[in-house]
């Protein structure tokens, strides 16, 4: 069963939670996670042509890309339906927490994804996993009003070991 098939099946129940194992060795892994997120969001009635729908897909893509690139090439993506948002959670085995850095436009080493996730999300938290690693959770609003507000926000503060949107 593909990631998309799993997301379609599990999106029919709310609140839904869809855990998907993602590996860098899977051809097209990041595109497959976007497709799974698209199927999940469509199953919840989220308009993927809207800014909110596009934000969900972008946050999924950025968090999975970061985990595959910086945390050993394997991660677990979990999507959960909230009343007015979708929670995107990506767990990996690395103990290293995401770091804010200056984006590098010359050498192509990145630095853009983490600020994008922070800007588009209502909240972003990072928690340690029992047994090692971490999970990054981003709550992405699905209402047009809050989406417009979050695209202007982008202010994130560090509170303990959790990154929390300052709203």
- Higher per-residue confidence, 64 vs 161: 64
Give me the residue spans of the domains in the chain: 3-165
**Residue 48: pLDDT above 60?**
yes
pLDDT digits (tens, 9 = 90+) for 135-156: 999 999 987 665 555 544 443 3
What pLDDT was estimated at residue 119?
93
**Candidates 3.30.565.10, 3.30.465.10, 3.90.1150.10, 1.20.1440.130; correct CATH number of 3-165?**
3.30.565.10
Tell me the C-alpha distance between 155 and 141, whole Å: 16
Helix, coil or strand: residue 84: coil
- Higher per-residue confidence, 17 vs 43: 43
What pLDDT was estimated at residue 24?
86
What pLDDT was estimated at residue 144?
61
What pLDDT was estimated at residue 136?
96
**Nearest partner of 116 among 97, 98, 135, judged by Cα:** 98
Give yes or no for a contact between 89 and 77, defined as CB atoms under 8 angstroms apart.
yes
- Higher per-residue confidence, 16 vs 67: 67
Q: What is the mean pLDDT of residues 122-135?
A: 94
Q: What is the mean pLDDT of residues 36-54?
A: 89
Tell me the C-alpha distance between 22 and 44, whole Å: 22
What pLDDT was estimated at residue 164?
36
What pLDDT was estimated at residue 160?
30
């Amino acid at each position: 069963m593909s990631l998309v098939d799993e997301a379609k099946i599990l999106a029919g129940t709310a609140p839904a939670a869809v855990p998907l194992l993602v590996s860098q060795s899977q051809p097209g892994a990041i595109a497959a996670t976007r497709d799974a997120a698209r199927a999940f969001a469509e199953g919840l009635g989220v308009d993927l042509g809207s800014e909110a729908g596009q934000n969900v897909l972008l946050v999924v893509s950025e968090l999975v890309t970061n985990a595959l690139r910086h945390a050993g090439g394997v991660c677990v993506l979990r999507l959960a339906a909230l009343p007015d948002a979708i929670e995107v959670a990506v767990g990996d085995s690395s103990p290293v927490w995401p770091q804010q850095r200056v984006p590098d436009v010359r050498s192509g080493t990145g630095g853009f994804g983490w600020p994008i996730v922070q800007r588009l999300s209502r909240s972003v938290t990072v928690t340690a996993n029992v047994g090692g690693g971490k999970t990054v959770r981003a709550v992405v609003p699905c209402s047009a009003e809050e989406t417009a507000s979050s695209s202007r926000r982008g202010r994130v503060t560090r509170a303990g070991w959790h990154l929390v949107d300052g709203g």
